[in-house]
Amino acid sequence: MRYLTAGESHGKQLTTIVEGVPANLPLLSSDISESLLRRQKGHGRGRRMKIEKDLVEIKSGVRHGYTLGSPITFVVENDDFKHWENIMGEDPIEDTQKIKRQITRPRPGHADLNGALKYGHRDMRNVLERSSARETAARVAAGSLAKKILKELDIDVVGYVKEIAGIRADDVDLSIQKKAEVSEESPVRTLDPNVEESMKNAIDQAKKDGDSIGGVCEVVVEGMPAGVGSYVHYDRKLDSRIAGGVTSINAFKGVEFGIGFEAARKNGSEVHDEILWSEERGYYRRTNRLGGFEGGMTTGMPIVVRGVMKPIPTLYKPLQSVDIDSKEPFKASIERSDSCAVPAASVVMEHVVAWEVARTLLEQFPHDQFPKLKQAIEDYREEIRGF
């Protein structure tokens, strides 16, 4: 299973094409749109989230509520394109108009300058329109399809915020279903009500100061059988795939599983998870310090992964940069106004993790027809229980 996305931030639409989805999977456009709307929420989002109402249209690959096994196309229209048609239209324009609209001042922390150097763009709008986090809407569309597959296989995925601007949420002992409910009700998507106001205040203060703040998101996956992934090659290790997926999200700079970097400060006896067996559960671990992975494969324990998001680099008190035409110093321009996107990023991360888990499952089990995939995984669960 794989996907491609297309579209620019202020272009006509975002498009996602997904190939390799099993036939006869129940799927509605509402399964996708629900996730897209979740991505737009969160304390600290900018004005554009009120302009765009992301709703998906399924253009191919689904008939009468079931997938066909052929490529599936999702389209999200950009409602704001009507205000950008002169700037983002595909038709040629006069050189005098081009010059007026050129962006020659790269913003520190963005892809502007590096992308211009790579592709030879003198107008850096050609870079920033595609490098924008708006593209994550298309990735959430793909991830919501992956979540649908996992849900039908009794595998649950939830993402939430663990930290904003150094304000850390305590661990909360809740079922994964309850975690989904609680995070959805929180404006900052945290499970700890004791830090919710402090997080909101930090976001408001950053906006007041013309600054931005980052944080940490956590995603948990429950219901995975043991042995998914592989130790045989580096690119088949599921934790490696998840780590790569998470760091591919805009502004994410680090990943950890289970106790993560804390393992460097502990003895081996305090890190590794002892193996137990019972007739009801089969093999399981006494603890889950390794976050559900050993040797690049699932252990059957919950997958627990955290991602670090840096502060958004566009600031109302901008940093110094250099104009690529004049080579003169200047203060960077403002292209968007979110002071904190960590709550929304937790939704993106949730869907990115879901995608990597689902595609790895589909590689490991026969998946041309969804009912056969489901049966194969049920048979495998039974097999390893009594192994």
Instruction: Find out whether 157 and 147 touch, Cβ atoms under 8 Å.
Output: yes
| Residue 336, annotated as binding a ligand | yes
| Residue 240, annotated as binding a ligand | no
| Residue 131, annotated as binding a ligand | yes
Q: How many Cβ atoms sit within 10 Å of the Cβ of residue 321?
A: 19
Give CA angle at 126 (121, 131), nearest 5°.
115
| Residue 287, annotated as binding a ligand | no
Give CA–CA dist 33/144, Å, rounded.
9
Token pair belonging to 107: 């913003």
| Residue 132, annotated as binding a ligand | yes
Instruction: Find out whether 299 and 292 touch, Cβ atoms under 8 Å.
Output: yes
| Residue 312, annotated as binding a ligand | yes
| Residue 105, annotated as binding a ligand | no
Q: How many Cβ atoms sit within 10 Å of the Cβ of residue 81?
A: 17
| Residue 225, annotated as binding a ligand | no
Give CA–CA dist 302/295, Å, rounded.
15
| Residue 302, annotated as binding a ligand | no
Give CA–CA dist 383/118, Å, rounded.
51
Element (H, E) at 318: none
| Residue 32, annotated as binding a ligand | no
| Residue 45, annotated as binding a ligand | yes
Token pair belonging to 56: 């998906």
| Residue 381, annotated as binding a ligand | no
CA separation, residue 136 to residues 4, 53, 306, 344 (Å): 12, 14, 18, 10
Which residues line the annotated binding site for FMN? 130-132, 250-251, 295, 310-314, 336
Which residues line the annotated binding site for NADP(+)? 39, 45
Which residues line the annotated binding site? 39, 45, 130-132, 250-251, 295, 310-314, 336
